[in-house]
Amino acid sequence: MPSPDGHSAEAAASLSDLLGTNYGAMRRLLPAEIYRVDLAAEADDVPGRTQWFAAGSPVLVVVGVDDTEVKVGDPAVRWDGHTPVLHARRVYRLPRTLARADAASKEEFDRELEFLVRRTRWLRMRRFRRCHECARMTPPEWRTSPDLCQSCAERNHGVVH
């Protein structure tokens, strides 16, 4: 899973273009760092057809755009050995035709997108737990037990990952 890097400004600009929204509005919607990601293929998706973007590190939400739809995904990470594989637990879809129609439709599109992004971020955050040793809010993929993060497991308990 790529981490945020110097390309995040380019990624944020590309995403705001694709969404047909102005840059400022998009940064309010996705205040975290934005970067391009590869998402493990979805059953109903042609590989490579969707451009996926992630916001946040740890990732809080993924947004995908293809020719016809904008997709908002609730992210999850599984481990393939030592390699984290990003996928989406649920994907909500909005037709891009809505954004391209009249001003009222575009407003509806923006409202729906905002609702989906906020709801998805909330769902993801609900799966974070506070590590009882370092007190950091930790996503499921970085925990070795319900309330212990991998860093503390390695540092304080000699667990090797």
Nearer to Zn ion, 40 or 134 (CB): 134
Q: Minimum Å distance from CB 156 to Zn ion?
A: 8
Task: Name which of 3 and 156 has its Cβ closer to Zn ion.
Answer: 156
Minimum distance from residue 136 beta carbon to Zn ion (Å): 6
Instruction: Give the nearest distance from C-beta 134 to Zn ion in angstroms.
Output: 3
Binding site for Zn ion (CB under 5 A): 131, 133-134, 149, 152
Q: Look-up: residue for tokens 């990470």?
A: 77
Nearest approach, Cβ of residue 147 and Zn ion (Å): 9
3-class state of residue 66 by DSSP: coil
Residue type at 110? D
Nearer to Zn ion, 66 or 133 (CB): 133
Three-state SS sequence of 84-140: EEEEEEEEEEEEHHHHHCCHHHHHHHHHHHHHHHHHHHHHHHCCCEECCCCCCEECH
The conformational region for residue 81 under phi > 0 = left, psi -120 to 50 = alpha, else beta, is left
Looking at the Cβ atoms of 25 and 135, the one nearer to Zn ion is: 135
Comparison of 34 and 153: residue with beta carbon closer to Zn ion: 153
Residues 129 and 94: their CA atoms lie apart, in Å, by 31
Kindly state the smallest distance separating residue 158's Cβ from Zn ion, in Å.
Answer: 14
Nearest in space to 121 (alpha carbons), one of 70, 42, 62: 62
